[in-house]
């Protein structure tokens, strides 16, 4: 075989293939992400979570917003939707409520989810909408050229903060926890096994799941701040992260190149929006009400 083999040739000759391939739209590859960008690694973890969850893939839907991470939906071999900027969560909410047997995953970036779509994030968590949200956090707006994001830590420069950022960033796990998410975890792309496991747990959990996946953006964030390549950021994740499962989310805020607390912070039970509606209307209306989506 030459060095330019395709997946099909590999299957034919060896009966094996890269285990991620069945989950990807291979006609769309290679993808557009930069060398050393971590988004592909999070996708890799997501495919492993899908394969271990044993879910019926015809009932799994992935919804993305806009941005570099927003491209994920287009590469997954699932029913997928690429929605308008920030509107992945409301779109996913509609999908879930129209067809409650679906497992709906929202996969987007920090800017899309916490800035443009911040309001939707807050309310979906408050309502405990049965969604899994994967938020790839690279501290910047990648696709639009490296503007300051609500997650950019204090200090680093961005195109719109040429003298360094002075805005206090969001602590996303704390935000999700405070709003009522039932599962909150943070991992980096150095922690591939743990990230895949968290995604698997998220797929199996009922209610609003929030997983923050820290990922390097070498092209904009790292280059502008002289942090080296993607791999140098992943080495920083390796050196400075501390696993603290069950940590108080108030204390897991991030600083520029500082310590990163990772782990599963929250795992609790709360009735989902649909469960609450059924319970409440069943009680108030009695026989006149037919429970929906059970």
- Reported in sequence order, the residue ranges of the chain that DSSP labels E, i.e. its strands, are 60-64, 79-82, 103-109, 132-137, 140-141, 147-148, 183-188, 209-214, 241-243, 260-267
Return the structure tokens found at 268: 């609790």
The CA distances from residue 147 to 111, 158, 164, 253, in Å, are: 10, 6, 11, 20
Q: What are phi and psi of 243, to 5 degrees?
A: -85, 120
Return the structure tokens found at 236: 């920083």
Which of the ranges 59-67, 99-107, 110-118, 223-231 carries the binding residues for other proteins, by CB under 8 A?
A: 223-231
Contact 104, 166 (CB under 8 A): no
Residue among 93 and 114 whose Cβ is closer to ligand SF4:
114
Pick from 61, 56, 107: which is nearest to 80 by CA?
Answer: 61
- Given other proteins, ligand SF4, none, residue 234, with its beta carbon under 5 to 8 Å by kind, binds other proteins
- Per rule CB under 8 A, is residue 268 in the interface with other proteins? no
Give 148's strand partners. 140
Residue among 19 and 291 whose Cβ is closer to ligand SF4:
19
Residue among 79 and 229 whose Cβ is closer to other proteins:
229
> According to CB under 8 A, which one of 141, 170, 190, 208 is a site residue for other proteins?
190
Which of the ranges 3-11, 116-124, 138-146, 148-156 carries the binding residues for other proteins, by CB under 8 A?
A: 3-11
Residues at the contact surface with ligand SF4, assessed by CB under 6 A: 33-34, 37, 39, 68, 138, 142-143, 217-220
Pairing of strands 183-188, 260-267: antiparallel
Residue among 37 and 254 whose Cβ is closer to ligand SF4:
37
- Per rule CB under 8 A, is residue 242 in the interface with other proteins? no
Least distance in angstroms from the C-beta of 201 to other proteins = 17
Residue among 7 and 159 whose Cβ is closer to other proteins:
7
Return the structure tokens found at 64: 């993305």
Cβ-count burial 91-122 (b if 16+ within 10 Å, e if not): bbbebbbeeeebbbbbbbbbbbbbbbbbebbb
Which of the ranges 6-14, 165-173, 253-261, 280-288 carries the binding residues for other proteins, by CB under 8 A?
A: 6-14
Residue among 152 and 219 whose Cβ is closer to ligand SF4:
219
- Given other proteins, ligand SF4, none, residue 206, with its beta carbon under 5 to 8 Å by kind, binds none
Residues that bind other proteins (CB under 8 A): 1-5, 10-16, 18-21, 24, 29-31, 33-41, 43-45, 48, 189-190, 192-193, 196, 229-231, 234-235
């Amino acid at each position: 075989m030459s060095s330019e083999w395709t997946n099909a040739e590999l299957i034919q000759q060896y009966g094996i293939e890269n285990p991620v391939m069945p989950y990807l739209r291979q006609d769309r590859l290679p993808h557009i992400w930069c060398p050393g960008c971590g988004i592909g690694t999070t996708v890799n973890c997501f495919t492993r979570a899908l394969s271990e969850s044993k879910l019926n893939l015809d009932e799994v839907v992935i919804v993305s917003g806009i941005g570099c991470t927003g491209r994920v939906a287009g590469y997954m071999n699932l029913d997928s939707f690429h929605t308008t900027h920030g509107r992945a969560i409301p779109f996913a909410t509609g999908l879930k409520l129209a067809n409650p047997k679906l497992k709906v995953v929202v996969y987007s970036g920090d800017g899309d989810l916490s800035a443009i779509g911040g309001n939707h994030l807050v309310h979906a968590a408050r309502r405990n909408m049965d969604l899994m949200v994967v938020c790839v956090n690279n501290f910047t707006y990648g696709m639009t050229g490296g503007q300051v994001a609500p997650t950019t830590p204090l200090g680093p420069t961005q195109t719109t903060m040429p003298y360094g950022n002075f805005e206090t960033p969001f602590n996303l796990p704390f935000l999700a926890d405070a709003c009522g998410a039932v599962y909150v975890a943070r991992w980096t792309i150095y922690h591939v096994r743990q990230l895949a496991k968290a995604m698997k747990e998220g797929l199996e959990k009922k209610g609003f799941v929030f997983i923050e996946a820290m990922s390097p953006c070498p092209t904009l964030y790292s280059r502008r701040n002289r942090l080296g390549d993607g791999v140098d950021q992943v080495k920083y994740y390796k050196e400075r992260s501390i696993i603290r499962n069950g940590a108080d989310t108030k204390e897991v805020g991030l600083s520029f190149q500082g310590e990163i607390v990772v782990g599963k912070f929250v795992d609790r039970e709360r009735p989902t929006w649909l469960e609450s509606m059924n319970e409440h209307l069943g009680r108030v209306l009695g026989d006149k009400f037919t429970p929906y989506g059970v």
